[in-house]
Amino acid sequence: MTTRERPRVAILPVYLELYDRSVPDLLPRQMGFLSCAQAALGSLGVEAVTLPVCRTLAQTTHAVAEAEKQGAHGIVCLHLAYAPSLEIAPALVDSRLPLLLWDTTPRPSFGPGAAVNDVLENHGIHGVQDLASVLLREQRTFDVIAGPLGDEEASARIALWARAAQARHLLHHLQVALIGDAFPGMGDFSVEDEVLRKVVGPTVMVLDIPRIADRTAKVTDADIAAEREADRAAFDCFPCPEVCWDRSNRVGLGLRRALAEIGAEAFSFNFASFDRSLGTPAVPFLEASKAMARGLGYAGEGDVLTASLVAALDRCYGPTTFTEMFCPDWQGGRVFMSHMGECNPALAQGRPQLVEKDYAYGPADNPAVLVFPLKPGPAALVNLAPGPHESMTLIAADVEIDATGLEPGLPAMPHFWIIPPSRDLPRFLERYSEAGGTHHLALTPGIRAADLAPLAHVNGWRFAALAQQR
């Protein structure tokens, strides 16, 4: 299963050099505030390293370079007191790390009885205003979160910003494998490799069928036996004939090894590319499902864009599956969700069942696939849609995974239903297509559409949140 790392941020504490001479005892007092801020981030599940206190542009430039060197996902700028913007802004403008201006102070209240020392310890907010104004003029993207330390709403927003910064970092270091050509004629998710790299972050690597066939041929009977035991521990395998099961695992292990060799953390294949005469006797739908459960991104038909999105959501927000809106249930106010044979078993309610799927879409034998109902509850339905002029729109909707179980008439087709916002299916479908949504999506249970707004902002994408559940 996926091991999810904590977001890593660098706290950039800024300060006015004049105070070192005029108020020499102020900074020692403010170091306690800095320690409290770092502890507050830790309590949110964020790994925070504190950079040296910066007073000059040279110090700030060195600190930002150190944050980048240490692999920070983002920078949190914290004013320990007022600090002039031109001692900070140029270094931040030159960095592409996501930037948060944390507008907070040591005291949660400030009223009657305040003294001079209280003013000195709690006046950093106009430094934030100075810096934000200059950054905006320089067209440097940033976020501002204001509130006292420990404020629940501000804390939740900081945690979401840190996740977004982590997801952006992952995308910009992601290697996504393309297996076979994209499905002919599907234009909605199509994006040139160069544009994908520039606007989203991942690098596309071509993984050809002969290489997968070569690794498949090298899978041993012992390998198959070990994989079969792992499957028995995780799934109900009784309904699947052993010849079909072993065939799928053999191709799946070949694919798994080929992906590992090139360092791919996401992949997409065109099912029509698999051919028994080329040494790939079955489409590896089973391995696609297992790979998603291990945290790899996946999407069908050569869609490297959605595969990358699935990887980022899974690693940074929670277990995620690739899916499609297949059929509308107009009367029930629901959407039937499915794809040919892939769904993340980490979302299963109960024990997934391994079955043989009749396959007539290419020169390959019947594959084994997993079918299971999904755990019911709230989820975010998410899409990353290419737009004009190399733009991207992140579309997200609050949905409910329906408690309906598997349909007996669909015995070898992964499927489930979602309930769209307000059960207004016509308007939901209208708004989705008006926003430019593609027919390939990701589904992440346990988060809300609004949680993903920071992800769009730190990446420079548009954000379209469809109406929340009422």
Whether the per-residue pLDDT at 1 is higher than 70: the answer is no
Q: Which of the listed residues 104, 137, 172 is the one where a domain comes to its end?
A: 172
How would residue 171 be classed by pLDDT, with cut points 50, 70 and 90? very high
Per-position DSSP letters for 87-133, written without gaps between them: GTHHHHHT--S-EEEEE--S-S---TT--HHHHHHS-THHHHHHHHH
Shared-domain flag, residues 271 and 403: yes
Is residue 302 domain-resident? yes
- pLDDT of 71 reads 96
Query: Number of structural domains, the chain?
Result: 2
- Does residue 162 share a domain with residue 16? yes
Which of 172, 203, 220 is the last residue before a domain boundary? 172
Would you say 171 and 197 are in contact if contact means Cβ atoms under 8 Å apart? no
In this predicted structure, the answer to whether residue 467 has a pLDDT above a threshold of 70 is: no
Chain CA centroid to CA 398, Å: 16
Q: Which of 82, 51, 55 is nearest to 64 (CA)?
A: 51
CATH number at residue 279: 3.20.14
140 and 246 housed in the same domain = no
Whose CA is closest to 414, among 366, 363, 347, 364? 347
Tell me the whole-structure pTM to 2 decimals: 0.96
Average pLDDT over residues 419-438: 95
328 burial (CB, 10 Å; 0-12 / 13-18 / 19+) is middle
Does residue 167 sit in the same domain as residue 179?
A: no
3 belongs to a structural domain: no
Average pLDDT, integer, range 142-157:
96
**What is the per-residue pLDDT for 470?**
42
pLDDT more than 70, % of the chain: 99
- In this prediction, residue 183 carries a pLDDT of 85
Residues 6+ apart with CB under 8 A from 25: none
Q: 286 and 150: one domain?
A: no
Question: Is the same domain home to 367 and 409?
Answer: yes
End residue of a domain, out of 118, 144, 172: 172
Question: Strands 266-269 and 175-179, how do they pair?
Answer: parallel
| 166 shares a domain with 180 | no
Average pLDDT over residues 227-245: 97
pLDDT per residue as tens digits for the range 243-262: 999 999 999 999 999 999 99
Range of the domain at 16: 8-172
In a domain, 470, yes or no: no
What average pLDDT does the chain have? 96
Cβ-count burial of 296 within 10 angstroms (0-12 exposed, 13-18 middle, 19+ buried)?
A: buried
